[in-house]
Amino acid sequence: MRSAQSSLQYISLIALVAVVIIATSVYLRRGFQGRLRGQANQMGEQYSPGGMSIDMTETSRVTLNSTTDGKNSTNKTSTVMTNVGRENVVRPLNQEHY
pTM above 0.75, yes or no: no
Q: Which domain holds residue 34?
A: 2-90
Q: What is the largest CA-CA distance in the chain?
A: 117
Query: Would you give the distance in Å from CA 84 to the centre of its chain?
Result: 28
> Does any domain span residue 39?
yes
Domains of the chain: total: 1
Query: Which pLDDT value is given to residue 19?
Result: 93
> Does any domain span residue 96?
no
Query: Which pLDDT value is given to residue 17?
Result: 94
> Does any domain span residue 73?
yes
> Does any domain span residue 59?
yes
Mean pLDDT of the chain: 77
> Does any domain span residue 6?
yes
Q: Is the pLDDT of residue 24 over 80?
A: yes
> Does any domain span residue 22?
yes
Contact 81, 57 (CB under 8 A): no
Reduced to 3 states (helix: H, G, I; strand: E, B; else coil), residue 2 is helix
> Does any domain span residue 43?
yes
Residues 73-93: what's their mean pLDDT? 72
> Does any domain span residue 98?
no
Q: Is the pLDDT of residue 50 over 70?
A: no
